Chains A and B, each alone.
Chain A
């Protein structure tokens, strides 16, 4: 699947399609990263945007202070930024995890708002409202999008691999235990803070990596867009819900449906007013008609069908065995 996605730019797609591809992968990566905390551990966090923004500002600040050139080197910086933001996220997690349930959601929203305020007001460091400039990458105009496409694909692939690994591991089991009933899990001897912090930091790392690539792609970082609590924060969750929270491929499916639609609305409806209404309508339709998500719904249906088939097979088997039992014993041939 990833290989097929990697070959996509070679299909002769025009750059605006590749551009939509980049944003789709960005949402897929952010949604998958959110899935770690929101889907597996059950803590609905609106904070991934905060880490996304930290990653974006991290890259921009590195450019400001260390001349690393504007070729491929910044891409090598992306994982380092991810790790750095993950470390930063631990004390933040310590504060946020003092609450759970709905207050946790509010605390994570507040985190985004606080960081946006700081980005706006610490003008010496962040450049304030005009934001920071990142040197434009020197890629040829025809292939400019493609490099970023692959970079974003890399971030998504790493996130997906981490999710796949977590799902099979002991850590994943611990996360699921926390989601089902944290107190009971702790009562049974699960060290519940381990999966919580792991999910929070993992979400922070991957979101920051997506943010760093995004910042390099747009070659500018504003507080409004880096710490966008209004569209990005909710968009990430919507992508995960649309695909099916807690599933491996759900966020990707959600992003593949939602992001092109969103870009289409933004393009065709232009100004923000109708766009907002259309966006809200999409939200509402998803919530009302597909609350369990595409992947979960399909999986359920498949499960039910296989169960039904199994049932039929079992019925046949019992009928057969009954028939055998009722049948007169065959005469034993000499």
Chain B
């Protein structure tokens, strides 16, 4: 029982981080109707930025978020402007391949700079943890969880309280109507894509603390993030959070009770069950032509 609750604690803490990564994916899907296959590699970029700043300038990984977030925003904004915006014919499907090309290209650039060895950000507080009522709460994961939640709340406020947020929501509801009402849809899409990449940058610096990574890690990551989206319902923020927590919970439970090799399987089994029972996802809305 003790092990079980311990696994739940770890699962929820990791789930927050996954929720942050997925929120960027949801944002780009909402505004541009595309699947951003590069979200995984953006996370890995964030992790490498944290790694570099820590190893060479001795900046704390949690502080390096302040660097990785704007940097990834700039990368995302630029990539959207030069590679995604020019796609006109069959843009939804082509952008799938285009973002995938970005992912492969960035993976290549990262392995060119950093090599293909596994890296980790090894801080002094790496292995320390608080003990509350007999349960271990790792400092790194707890801080990452709290920061992720804070950033998610910030994103929520940005989307609901600001002019930019209103235009994002307008574009996700109906692009042509938003355009008619004077929303600069191109700029909104570029900003949203940049913002999605920025969340990955923030999550990435913390991801580097929680687990080791190499340039090819993005493939595994994007698989998880996409599955989270489908379980929760594509385009739903609440669904993304729920899916992320379910993923992390099932992984940590299986890891604790069975074996690490099988840790990802129950989540995918769950994915299949959700698809059979509720194809639009847990929080998805059934729309014509969408699902």
Contacts and interface: CB of A to CB of B under 8 A. Distances in A.
Contacts of A194: none
Interface string A229-243: 110001001100100
Nearest to A269: B108
Given A110-B230, A287-B101, 17 more contacts: A103-B279, A103-B281, A106-B227, A110-B226, A110-B227, A110-B268, A121-B265, A183-B289, A237-B97, A276-B104, A277-B112, A281-B105, A283-B105, A287-B94, A288-B83, A292-B89, A292-B90
A101 interface: yes
Contacts of B104: 230, 234, 276, 279-280, 283
Contacts of A283: 97-98, 100-101, 104-105
Interface stretch (A3-11, A64-72, A92-100): A92-100
Contacts of A276: 104-105, 107-108, 111
A88 to B, nearest CB: 15
A280 B226 contact: no
B111 A107 contact: no
Given A110-B268, A284-B105, A101 B289 contact: yes
B52 interface: no
A250 to B, nearest CB: 14
B221 to A, nearest CB: 11
B108 A273 contact: yes
A291 B90 contact: yes
Interface stretch (B155-163, B171-179, B269-277): B269-277
Interface residues of A, number: 41
A241 B97 contact: yes
Given A103-B234, A291-B89, A284 B108 contact: no
B277 to A, nearest CB: 9
A44 interface: yes
Contact of A280 (B87, B105, B219, B275): B105
Interface in A210-248: 229-230, 234, 237-238, 241
Interface in A132-175: none
A249 interface: no
Contacts of B109: 273, 277
